[in-house]
Amino acid sequence: MNALVWRLHRNQAWTAAAALAALTVVLVTTGIAMAGDYHGFLASCGATHSCADTSQLFRSYGVVNILVTATMAVPLLFGMFWGAPLLAGEFEAGTHALAWTQGITRRRWLNRNLTWALLAAAAWGAAMTALVSWWRGPENALGIGGIRLSAGVFDIQGIAPAAYSVFAVALGIAAGSVFRRTLPALVTTLTVFAGLRFLIAEYARAHYMTPVSQLIALGAGAQANGGAPAGAWLLSTTLTGPDGQNYGTAVTSNQMPAVCRGLGPSCLASHGFRTLITYQPASRFWAFQGIETGIFITLAAVLIAVAYRMVLTRDA
């Protein structure tokens, strides 16, 4: 049975292996060069006692940065082209019935297909995110290329991308077991995966843990990262009065003290107005990675249970 699974899916495996090998060559080559630039920068700014200007650093790696960001779509490709056709393709071609009449039970047939597909997704996803996390090491250390907790940066590093890959393949398998047609399974995988990832990144992730709130001096929000600690994910900035009242992003002339009308922020600051910032500290990166990994692995388990039920209980 294992040999049969390999023969049926070896083209996909070789294609994925070739793509991973090409990505490895590009990232290792440029990553070594970036590490050299990074250590050279540290030595230079250490000698001048000024490490603030990083605007020109790593600019020559712009194309590779785009490639690295594009790896965010790889789990979806696994789901569409590994997961969705896995069962749907066999149901369409009728090869499942042939296998079931050759002394192979439905459960054994399903076990082998699912095990290898999920293991492959986890392995490829883990290898890819390990490469990307290593490559972005110098950028992460200097805070270049975005906050690690923010959308687009968080999604390509750590351990979560491997969970995305497993979830995407499980979603494709479940969709294939329900529709038994490849095209509907592909469309469902694309729609559900993209929609769920967007909702979690935009609305759920910021609330995995209670955000930190901090009052800072009025005008301090113009500093780097809106006045939040370096590397923190800034969620909101609001203006508060001396009585703790929230004025949103700005105070109108009718709301400010009469003596400050027509004057600058310094007058408001002298009358007790301050800025309230809410953020997620950079130190929570791995906690958030663990939470999001758990979410997608749990969803993958539910989808696999759906696939088992649909295959084992429905007529051939």
* Per-residue CA distances from 88 to 198, 226, 286 (Å): 26, 50, 36
pLDDT score of 1 more than 60: no
Confidence at residue 49, expressed as pLDDT on a 0 to 100 scale: 63
pLDDT score of 123 more than 70: yes
Most confident region among 101-105, 250-254, 290-294 by mean pLDDT:
290-294
- Percentage, residues of the chain above pLDDT 90: 44
Query: What integer best gives the mean pLDDT of the chain?
Result: 84
pLDDT score of 48 more than 80: no
Give ∠ CA 14-27-43 in degrees, rounded to 5.
165
Residue 90 — very low, low, confident or very high, per pLDDT cuts 50/70/90?
confident
25-29, 44-48, 122-126: least confident range: 44-48
Q: Name the pairing type of β-strands 212-217 and 274-280.
A: antiparallel
Grouping H, G, I as helix, E, B as strand and the rest as coil, residue 234 is: strand
* Residue 71 CB neighbours (<10 A): 19
Confidence at residue 255, expressed as pLDDT on a 0 to 100 scale: 66
Q: Span 2-17, mean pLDDT?
A: 68
Confidence at residue 57, expressed as pLDDT on a 0 to 100 scale: 77
pLDDT score of 249 more than 80: no
pLDDT score of 295 more than 70: yes
Distance from C-alpha of 283 to C-alpha of 276, rounded to nearest angstrom = 20
Tokens of 269: 């600051």
Higher pLDDT, 10 or 111: 111
> Whats the size of the chain, residue-wise?
316
Residue 59 — very low, low, confident or very high, per pLDDT cuts 50/70/90?
confident
Q: What is the pTM of this model?
A: 0.86
The answer to whether 138 touches 37, Cβ cutoff 8 Å, is: yes
Distance from C-alpha of 70 to C-alpha of 139, rounded to nearest angstrom = 17
